[in-house]
Amino acid sequence: MILRLCLSKEGPARFISHLDYSRAIERALRRAQIPVQFTEGFNPRMKLSFADALPVGMVSRAEWLDVHLKASVDPAEAKRRLGASLPAGVRVLELFVIPDNLPPLTSLLEAVTYEATVRLRDCPDHGKLIQHFLRQEEIRVERPSRGVIDVKGSLLDLRGEVRDGKLIVYMTTSGEKTVRPEPVIRALDDFGGSWLDLDSLRVEKTGMVFRGSSLTGG
Amino acid sequence: MILTDQIEALLPHVSTPGRYTGGELNSVVKRPEDVSVRFALAFPDVYEVGMSHLGSHILYKVLNDIPDVACERVYAPWVDMETLMRQNGVPLFSLETRTPVREFDILGFSLEYELSYTNVLNMLQLAGIPLRSSERGESDLLVVAGGPCVFNPEPMAPFIDAFVIGEAEEAVVELVRVYREWKGHRRELLERLAGITGVYVPSFYDACYDGERYLGLKRIDSAVPPKIRKRVLRRLEGAPYPVRPIVPFINIVHDRAVLELFRGCTRGCRFCQAGTIYRPVRERELESLAQMARELISNTGYNEISLASLSSADYPRIQELMERLSDELIGTGVGLSLPSLRVDTFSVELAKEVEKVRKSTFTFAPEAGTDRLRRVINKGITHDQILEACRAAFEAGWDGLKLYFMIGLPTETDQDIEGIAELAREVKKEYGRSGTSRRSLKLHVSVSNFVPKPHTPFQWEAQDSMEELQRKQKFLAKWLRPLGVKLSTHDVRTSFLEAVFARGDRRLAQVLEKAWQYGAHFDAWREQLNFDAWRRAFEHTGIEPRFYATRARDENEVLPWDHIDAGVTKAFLWKERLKALAAETTPDCRFGPCQFCGVCSSEVYSG
Ligand code: SF4
């Protein structure tokens, strides 16, 4: 039996690495006494497969993973028990049984959606600015210590909205190439001439889109 | 900005932010308004080290089990975080409620290692608390300390208001009770604390000197005891144990559940301080251990449970215990581990049982290179027994072996050091003979430098000079190189400082303070050790460190820890020292007759 789960990563848990996060999930599964399958070999590990690895510091309400079980469970009961065993900052948002023959999540990943919030320094016409930003021939962004790339092809959607002196950006990036929102927001800030207070930038991963279905979590 | 936001703003800019978040599973958060005493339990090193310390988990439980007490954790911020905290005016804070430490009632430090002393000073300053006890006023919190280092509290005496000597499970409850009932002046609090058995309030004693010589302490208040008796639990069975320990988010040094089988060790290794200060041996019953193991796993979800003690294989029903646990854990993916094994075939048998699949590295600690020197330190295993144990490990499938030794031991000659290389050579041969050479043997020799410790038969001995230790390290490397053995050694400067402070007196407090002002902290971290700061601090204060480290004491010298009664008599230690010099061994009282070390008949134990 395979369980497909969507978990959150927020509060204190947002400051841990993906490896620590996955270990915390393993421990919670053990506390919840969910009969997880182990890998063969010298160092048996629980059979979990995550769709993606989140960078340290980012909040998420869409951490999708598959958990392979060695015995069947009642999903509602598993959800309740796991929910009671997870540490602060991790909640079960979705949990359901999937057929055994589905391809792994990573190969199904089509797109990731994010929500970025940042305080405004200036108030230009943000709608127009974003339009121009997207219409560039190339959208060059600088990734920390990994050089400049053009994200034109992988930036599927970007919209902005202003509320209480803050710009809220809804962004969808392609699942094929990992594009993180921060460098894009930085480029957008640059493009408009430092109109955003980047120190206040908060990014949240809000959903993942998989081929054949749309799983947005929440 | 409120403190919690200030802290979160710093976290994206530091390495391992998970050190500072709190909120881990099983951490206990109480509302300040619901409690009457707030206790900050501090560890003067980073989170990963402090969270691996069993004693802190025990005290955390004991204190939080008291309904009107809140105990919260505090660790030393790593240098990157410290810099940001100073730049942004963020004071030292607790993890549970992110409260500035100075708002607590009591701040308690665990002193596990002499080289963490400068971190204590640094943390006091980051918290905004006056460094010296004498500078603290009515509005300042109470600063206490415990742990193995406080068996010679003197170098830290001016900075600590009260020390708890020995096992703190009961004493800390009494301490909190006294605090809760106290109203009035700070001095009255200190007087009442001094009335608790095992509590040492250093400001009630003056240290006397004659030139360089230390003459002892003089009480300035006749109500305080001339000697402070260590605290010992009469029974370990039934004593509180953290079966619901905090499970960290991040990877820590010992990231597993810990089951304490027994406390104390009477093997009597003459260099070992733990072997005296935790006497006598007290065990938990097998049934209780099995139950505790079950609870530990279901409360934490750890995939490993470590059967910890000073020498775990000495637990009388160890085999039965392990069988019970393995049976219960089969199929859960939870493994057992056995740290600190003896050098014998029995230990290999035990390890074989727990490490069914993983054949990593086997670890033995022969400690010295020749039979003679092993008799001196009362580690009575012979060359042949060591080889036999190694053979058993090879036959069981291990291809990696790590051997621990010490250099600079009393009476050591170059022959003893050659003996280490000789042993390594024989071990390699043994591997070849065992007919198991599937691959090749990975042999690792790890050598530490002997540091004479208080309350041991070697407390009177001189440490080798740094030059001599370095020469011995090179000498050993020369012998081991042609054998293709990996050698790791310890920094001689670290061992020197450790020796100075382990047997130091109160005068060393000025050195600590100066060295810290010159930038020393995290001295136990090789890349952080700022030896120049220490050299300048000794020069500035005119204190000669070699007086403490490399000088032998005679029988009649008053020792700076003579007022601390660990239960084991000085006469017994001296007798053991003489036997050491004659290379005579003393048997373990656990499996034979009493050797009259004094602890069982002393008031320490029988009350
Ligand atoms: S008094 Fe005797 S039995 Fe007790 S710890 Fe000492 S040597 Fe062992």
Q: Model confidence at B245, in pLDDT bands (50, 70, 90)?
A: very high
- For residue A202, how many other CB atoms are within 10 A of its CB? 14
∠ CA B473-B112-B140 to the nearest 5 degrees? Answer: 140
Q: What is the tens place of the pLDDT at every residue in B415-436?
A: 999 999 999 999 999 888 876 6
Model pLDDT for residues B165-199, shown as the tens digit of each residue: 999 999 999 999 999 999 889 999 999 999 999 99
Residues of chain B with Cβ-Cβ distance to A33 below 8 Å are 298
Provide the chain A residues 20-49 that lie in CB contact (below 8 A) with chain B: 20, 23-24, 26-31, 33, 36, 38, 42-44, 46
Cα B184 off chain centre by: 36
pTM of the prediction? 0.93
Name chain B contacts of A13, Cβ cutoff 8 Å: 23, 249
Q: Counting every residue, how long is chain A?
A: 218
Long-range contacts, A190-195 (Cβ 8 Å, 24+): A191/A129, A191/A132, A191/A133, A191/A136, A192/A122, A192/A124, A192/A129, A192/A133, A193/A122, A194/A121, A194/A122, A195/A120, A195/A121, A195/A122, A195/A123, A195/A124, A195/A129
Distance from CA of A80 to the nearest CA of B (A): 16
How many Å apart are CA B329 and CA B298, to the nearest integer? Answer: 11
- State the CB neighbour count (10 A cutoff) for residue B532: 12
Which residue from B minimizes the CA distance to A87? Answer: B25
> Which atom from ligand 1 is nearest to the alpha carbon of B597?
6
Q: Which of B25, B249, B303 has its CB closest to that of A16? A: B249
Residues carrying CATH 3.30.2350.10, chain A: 108-215
Contacts of B332 in chain A (CB under 8 A): 30
* Buried/exposed code over B10-45 (b: 16+ C-beta within 10 A; e: otherwise): bbeebebbbbbbbbbbbbbebeeeebebbbbbbbbb
Pinpoint the residues of chain B covered by CATH 3.40.50.280.
3-229
CB-based contact (8 Å) between A90 and chain B?
A: no
pLDDT of residue B437: 55
Largest separation between any pair of C-alpha atoms in chain A? 60
pLDDT in tens, B576-591: 999 999 999 999 998 8
CA distances from B113 to A157, B131, B304 (A): 56, 19, 26
**SS3 readout for B112-168:** CCHHHHHHHHHHHHHHCCCCCHHHCCCCCCEEEEECHHHHCCHHHHHHCCEEECECH
The separation between CA B162 and the C-alpha centre of its own chain, rounded to angstroms, equals 19
In which residue are the tokens 């006749």 written? B222
To test the ligand 1 pocket, which listed residue (B568, B589, B591, B605) has its Cβ within 8 A of the most ligand atoms? B589
CB contact under 8 A, B251 and A12: no
B175 Cα–ligand 1 center, Å: 29
Which residue intervals of chain A bear CATH 3.30.70.580?
2-102
Can you tell me the distance from the alpha carbon of B52 to that of A55, in angstroms, rounded to the nearest whole number? Answer: 26
Task: Using alpha carbons, select from B88, B110, B101, B169 the residue that is nearest to residue B141.
Answer: B101
Give the residues across from B406 on adjacent strands. Answer: B448
Strands B257-260 and B304-308: parallel
* CB contact A96 to B (< 8 Å): no
Ligand 1 atom at shortest distance from the alpha carbon of B589? 8
A30 Cα to chain B: minimum distance (Å)? 5
Half-sphere exposure of B545 toward its Cβ, with a 13 Å CA cutoff?
27
Question: How distant is the Cα of B122 from the closest Cα of chain A, in angstroms?
Answer: 25
Domain at B257-490: CATH architecture: Alpha-Beta Barrel (3.20)
- Per-residue model confidence as pLDDT tens digits over B258-307: 999 999 999 999 999 999 999 999 999 999 999 999 999 999 999 899 99
Name which of A18, A19, A25, A31 to mutate to probe chain B: the one with the most chain B Cβ atoms within 10 A of its Cβ: A31
Q: What is the pLDDT of residues B293-311, one digit of tens each?
A: 999 999 999 989 999 888 8
Q: Which two tokens stand for residue B211?
A: 């030139």
Return the closest-CA partner of residue B41 out of B22, B27, B60, B25: B60
- Ligand 1 atom 6: residue of nearest CA: B597
pLDDT(B114) > 60? yes
Burial class of B157 by CB neighbour count within 10 A (0 to 12, 13 to 18, 19+): buried
Give pLDDT, residue B1. Answer: 60
pLDDT at B120 over 70: yes
Place of tokens 């004991």: B62
CA atoms of A78 and A161, how far apart (whole Å): 39
Listed in sequence order, the residues at least 6 apart from B142 whose beta carbon sits closer than 8 Å to its beta carbon are: B105, B106, B107, B161, B162, B179, B189
Residues of A in contact with B329 (CB under 8 A): none
ipTM of the complex, rounded to two decimals: 0.85
| Ligand 1 atom nearest B594 alpha carbon | 2
DSSP assigned state of B458 = T
Looking at this protein, which amino acid is placed at residue B59?
A: L
**Per this entry, what is the length of chain B?**
607
Residue in A67, A55, A44 with CA at minimum distance from that of residue A18: A55
Nearest CA in chain B to A70: B331
What does the alpha-carbon distance between residue B360 and residue B534 come to, in Å, rounded to a whole number?
40
d(CA A54, CA B568): 56
Query: In Å, how far from its chain's centre is CA B251?
Result: 21
Q: Which ranges in chain B are annotated with CATH 3.20.20.70?
A: 257-490
Q: Which residues pair with A38 in a beta bridge?
A: A46
| Backbone phi and psi for residue B93, each to the nearest 5 degrees, phi listed first | -130, 160
Q: What is the pLDDT of residue A217?
A: 39
Backbone torsions φ then ψ of B295, nearest 5 degrees: -65, -40
Reported for B384-387, long-range contacts at CB under 8 A and 24+ positions apart, including other chains, are B385/B343, B385/B344, B386/B343, B386/B423, B386/B427, B387/B426, B387/B427, B387/B430
- For B494-547, what is each residue's pLDDT tens digit? 999 999 999 999 999 999 999 999 999 998 898 899 999 999 999 999 999 999
Look at ligand 1, atom 5, and give the residue with the nearest C-alpha. B280
Instruction: Identify the closest residue of chain B to A89 by CA–CA distance.
Output: B23
**The pLDDT value given to residue B355:** 66
Nearest to B494 by CA among B522, B461, B536: B522
Query: What's the CA-to-centroid distance between A148 and ligand 1, angstroms?
Result: 71
Q: How far, in Å, CA of B344 to CA of B31, rounded?
A: 52
Give the Cα separation of B8 and A10 in Å (integer): 13
**Contact yes or no for B40/B101 (Cβ under 8 A):** yes
Residues in chain B closer than 8 A to A31 (CB atoms): 298-301
Question: Do residues B73 and B110 touch, judged by C-beta distance below 8 A?
Answer: no
Q: Is there a contact between A30 and B301 if contact means CB atoms under 8 Å apart?
A: yes
Strand partners, A95: A5
Q: How far apart are CA B125 and CA B104, in angstroms?
A: 15
Q: Does the CA dihedral B350-B352-B354-B358 come out positive or negative? A: positive
Q: Hey, what's the torsion of the CAs at B370, B375, B378, B383, to 10 degrees?
A: 40
Half-sphere exposure of residue B126: CA atoms within 13 angstroms, side-chain side: 30
Task: State residue B448 phi and psi, 5-degree precision.
Answer: -105, 170
pLDDT grade, residue B235 (50/70/90)? Answer: very high
Tokens, residue B372: 């003679």
Cα separation, A184 vs A171, whole angstroms:
9
For residue B339, give Cα distances in angstroms to B69, B247, B252, B305, B479.
34, 20, 17, 11, 29
Q: What is the pLDDT of residue B78?
A: 97
Q: In what side-by-side order are the strands of the sheet with B335-337?
A: B257-260, B304-308, B335-337
What is the dotted CATH code of the domain comprising A2-102? 3.30.70.580
CB A98: neighbour CB atoms within 10 A? Answer: 12
Q: Which of A30, A39, A43, A47 to probe the B interface (max B CBs under 10 A)?
A: A30
Task: Name residues whose C-beta falls within 8 Å of residue A102's C-beta, 6 or more positions apart in sequence.
Answer: A2, A108
Categorize the per-residue pLDDT at B607 as very low, low, confident or very high, splitting at 50, 70 and 90. Answer: low
- Would the CB atoms of B333 and A11 count as touching at under 8 Å? no
Cα gap B148→B227, rounded to integer Å:
17
What was the pLDDT predicted at B201?
98
Which protein residues touch ligand 1 with a CB less than 6 Å away? B 266, 279-280, 589, 594-600
DSSP string for A100-156: TTPPPHHHHEEEEEEEEEEEESS---HHHHHHHHHHSS--EEEETTTEEEE-TTTEE
Indicate the residue of A11, A31, A56 with minimum beta-carbon distance to B17. Answer: A56
Task: Give CATH for domain A108-215.
Answer: 3.30.2350.10
At B448-480, the pLDDT tens digits run 999 999 999 999 999 999 999 999 999 999 999
**Residue nearest to ligand 1 atom 2, measured at CA:** B594
Helix (H, G, I), strand (E, B) or coil at B434: coil
Question: Distance (Å, rounded) from C-alpha A85 to C-alpha B247?
Answer: 12
Tell the CATH superfamily of the B3-229 domain.
Cobalamin-binding domain (3.40.50.280)
Alpha carbon separation from B143 to A171, B124, B136, B181 (Å, rounded)? 52, 9, 10, 17
A19/B303 touch (CB, cutoff 8 Å), yes or no: no
Query: How many Cβ pairs within 8 Å bridge chains A and B?
Result: 75
What is the C-alpha separation between A41 and B357, in angstroms, rounded? 8
Find the closest chain A residue to B329 by CA distance: A30
Q: What pLDDT, on the 0 to 100 scale, is given for residue A218?
A: 33
Share of chain B above pLDDT 70, in %: 98
State how far the Cα of A211 lies from the Cα of A205, in Å rounded to an integer: 18
Instruction: Name the residue facing A20 among B18, B23, B334 (closest C-beta).
Output: B18
Evaluate if residue B380 carries a pLDDT over 90: no
| Chain A nearest CA to B332, separation (Å) | 8
Measured by CA distance, the residue closest to atom 7 of ligand 1 is B595
Judge whether A142 and A189 are in contact, CB under 8 Å.
no
Q: Does A88 touch chain B (CB under 8 A)?
A: yes
- What distance lies between CA B113 and its chain's CA centroid? 6
pLDDT digits (tens, 9 = 90+) for B82-95: 999 999 999 999 99
Crossing angle between the packed helical segments B318-329 and B286-300, to the nearest 10 degrees: 30
Q: Whose CA is nearest to atom 4 of ligand 1?
A: B600
CA of B597 to the centre of ligand 1 (A): 5
Block means of pLDDT (10 residues each) for chain A, 218 residues, are 96 94 95 92 84 91 95 96 96 94 86 95 88 92 85 92 93 87 93 91 93 54
Q: What mean pLDDT comes out for the span B434-441?
A: 71
Would you call A63 helix, strand, or coil by DSSP?
A: strand
Whether cis (ω within 30° of 0) applies to the bond prior to B316 is no
Taking CA atoms, what residue in B is nearest to A57? B12
